[in-house]
Structure 1
């Protein structure tokens, strides 16, 4: 799957089968369901989930909590726009398989 296919899948009622919890979180975020996205990001405390968790708190406006999650996953806080960070996260996670 590539980013364009991932974006197109957002028109569906459920995320495609086989997505990691981190990608599911980004999918639900794109659907406008922050709470479901947050729930999926917390499903596994791996690096990917923590990075998406950081992005979601940044989007929420909770910079302190976002900073905590960026530190936990070993990433510098993003200086990209939220849309750019979302795309970067999706691209990176899709490339990881």
Structure 2
């Protein structure tokens, strides 16, 4: 039983480390993406402003970003629903030794 608990701890620690590293990298990528999106949005707004009033150009760019945000949010929700926090190998090994869990 102690070995199973240790295995579960090791599995969870490894997964948490991967998640932490991934979250940090997503943070950096998110900030860089934000800066790119900001400057491209301003460039698009100014380009549109040469043909239509600036207020309408800004509104068009904002609506485009609202659509992008909605699609990304739905895709993110779908990915989070696929996450499995259960330590699969530990559960599998515990099922192989059912007698170890029963009280004496």
Q: TM-score, normalised by structure 1?
A: 0.27
Pair member with larger Rg: 2
Higher helix share: 2
Q: TM-score, normalised by structure 2?
A: 0.25
- Higher RCO by CA contacts (8 Å cutoff, separation 6 or greater): 2
